[in-house]
Structure 1
Amino acid sequence: MSRNFDAIIIGAGQAGPSLAGRLTEAGRTVALVERKLFGGTCVNTGCMPTKAMVASAYAIHTARRGAEYGMTTGPISVDFARVMARKEKVRLDARAGVESWLKNMNNCTVLEGHARFESPTEIRVGEELISSEQVFLNVGARAAVPDFAGIDEVSYLTNSSIMELNHLPGHLVIIGGSYIGLEFAQMFRRFGSEVTVIEKGPRLIAREDPDVSDAIRAILEKEGVHIRLNAECIRFAKHPNGVAAGVDCTSGAPEVIGSDVLLATGRRPNTDDLGLDKAGVKTDARGYIEVDDFLRTNVPHISAMGECNGRGAFTHTSYNDFEIAAANLIDNDPRRVSDRIQTYALYIDPPLGRAGMTETEARKSGRKLMIGTRPMTRVGRAVEKGETQGFMKVIVDADTNEILGASILGTGGDEAIQSILDVMYAKKPYTTILRAVHIHPTVSELIPTVFGDMSPAT
Structure 2
Amino acid sequence: MTDHALTGRTFDAVVIGAGAAGLVTSSGLGLLGARVALIEKHRFGGECLWTGCVPSKALIRTAQTLSDARRGNLVGLPATEIKFDFQQVMQSMRETIARIQPHDDPETIRKKGVTTLQGTARILGPGRVAVDDQELASKRIVIATGSRPTMPPIANLQETGFLTHESALELDEQPRRLIILGAGPIGLEFAQIFNRLGSEVTVVELLDRILPREDAEMSDHLREILETEGIRFLLGHKAIAAACLDEGREITVRGADGAETRITGDEILVATGMRPVTQDLGLETVGVELDEHGAVLVDAKMKTTAPEIWAAGDVTGKLLFTHVADYQARLIVRNMFFPFRARADYSRVPWATYTDPTLAHVGLTESEARQRHG
TM category (shorter chain) comes to over 0.9
Q: Which residue of 1 aligns with 2:4?
A: none
Q: How does 1:222-371 map to 2 (within 5 A)?
A: 222-249=228-255, 254-338=261-345, 340-367=347-374
Instruction: Note the C-alpha offset of 1:334.
Output: 2.3
Q: Superposition RMSD on alpha carbons, in Å?
A: 1.7
String of CA shifts for 1:421-458, please: whole Å, max 9, x gaps: xxxxxxxxxxxxxxxxxxxxxxxxxxxxxxxxxxxxxx
| Greater Cα radius of gyration, structure 1 or 2 | 1
Judged with a 3 Å threshold, the aligned counterparts in structure 2 of structure 1 residues 257 and 98 are, in CA distance, closer, same or farther, namely: same
Judged with a 3 Å threshold, the aligned counterparts in structure 2 of structure 1 residues 233 and 71 are, in CA distance, closer, same or farther, namely: closer
Judged with a 3 Å threshold, the aligned counterparts in structure 2 of structure 1 residues 80 and 333 are, in CA distance, closer, same or farther, namely: farther
Whether 1:90 and 2:96 are equivalent positions in the alignment is yes
String of CA shifts for 1:394-416, please: whole Å, max 9, x gaps: xxxxxxxxxxxxxxxxxxxxxxx
Judged with a 3 Å threshold, the aligned counterparts in structure 2 of structure 1 residues 278 and 103 are, in CA distance, closer, same or farther, namely: same
| Pairs aligned (count) | 367
Counterparts of 2:162 and 2:95, CA distance in 1 = 25
Whether 1:40 and 2:46 are equivalent positions in the alignment is yes
Any stretches of 5+ residues in structure 1 without a counterpart?
368-458
TM-score, normalised on structure 2?
Answer: 0.94
String of CA shifts for 1:129-159, please: whole Å, max 9, x gaps: 0010011111000001112111122110001
Counterparts of 1:120 and 1:148, CA distance in 2 = 40
Moved more, 86-95 or 41-50: 86-95
Identity fraction in percent:
36
Instruction: Note the C-alpha offset of 1:72.
Output: 3.1
Counterparts of 1:311 and 1:191, CA distance in 2 = 33
Letter in structure 1 aligned against 2:89:
V
Q: Which residue of 1 aligns with 2:63?
A: 57
Letter in structure 2 aligned against 1:298:
T
Letter in structure 1 aligned against 2:364:
M
Counterparts of 2:118 and 2:131, CA distance in 1 = 8
Letter in structure 2 aligned against 1:5:
F
Identify which of structures 1 and 2 has the higher relative contact order when contacts are C-alpha pairs closer than 8 Å and 6+ apart.
2
Counterparts of 1:41 and 1:273, CA distance in 2 = 20
Instruction: Note the C-alpha offset of 1:339.
Output: 5.7
Instruction: Note the C-alpha offset of 1:103.
Output: 4.5
Q: Which residue of 2 aligns with 1:198?
A: 204
Instruction: Note the C-alpha offset of 1:70.
Output: 2.5
Residue pair 1:39, 1:94 contacting (<8 A) in 2 also:
no
Counterparts of 1:250 and 1:301, CA distance in 2 = 48
Structure 1 runs, 4 residues or longer, greater than 4 Å off: 100-103, 250-253
Aligned residue among 11, 28, 40 for 1:22: 28
Moved more, 18-27 or 304-313: 18-27
Residue pair 2:147, 2:276 contacting (<8 A) in 1 also:
yes
Residue pair 2:251, 2:264 contacting (<8 A) in 1 also:
yes
TM-score, normalised on structure 1?
Answer: 0.77
Q: Which residue of 2 aligns with 1:112?
A: 118
Counterparts of 1:312 and 1:74, CA distance in 2 = 40
Q: Which residue of 1 aligns with 2:3?
A: none
Residue pair 1:116, 1:275 contacting (<8 A) in 2 also:
yes
Counterparts of 2:280 and 2:272, CA distance in 1 = 22
Judged with a 3 Å threshold, the aligned counterparts in structure 2 of structure 1 residues 102 and 137 are, in CA distance, closer, same or farther, namely: farther
Counterparts of 1:271 and 1:92, CA distance in 2 = 28
Counterparts of 1:230 and 1:203, CA distance in 2 = 8
Q: What SS does structure 2 have at the residue aligned with 1:365?
A: helix
Whether 1:179 and 2:185 are equivalent positions in the alignment is yes
Q: Which residue of 2 aligns with 1:146?
A: 152
Letter in structure 2 aligned against 1:310:
G
Instruction: Note the C-alpha offset of 1:360.
Output: 0.9
Letter in structure 2 aligned against 1:325:
I
Instruction: Note the C-alpha offset of 1:10.
Output: 0.7
Judged with a 3 Å threshold, the aligned counterparts in structure 2 of structure 1 residues 106 and 200 are, in CA distance, closer, same or farther, namely: closer
Counterparts of 2:120 and 2:178, CA distance in 1 = 34
Residue pair 2:27, 2:113 contacting (<8 A) in 1 also:
no
Counterparts of 2:110 and 2:12, CA distance in 1 = 18
Whether 1:2 and 2:8 are equivalent positions in the alignment is yes
Residue pair 1:102, 1:110 contacting (<8 A) in 2 also:
no
Instruction: Note the C-alpha offset of 1:86.
Output: 1.4
Q: Which residue of 2 aligns with 1:80?
A: 86
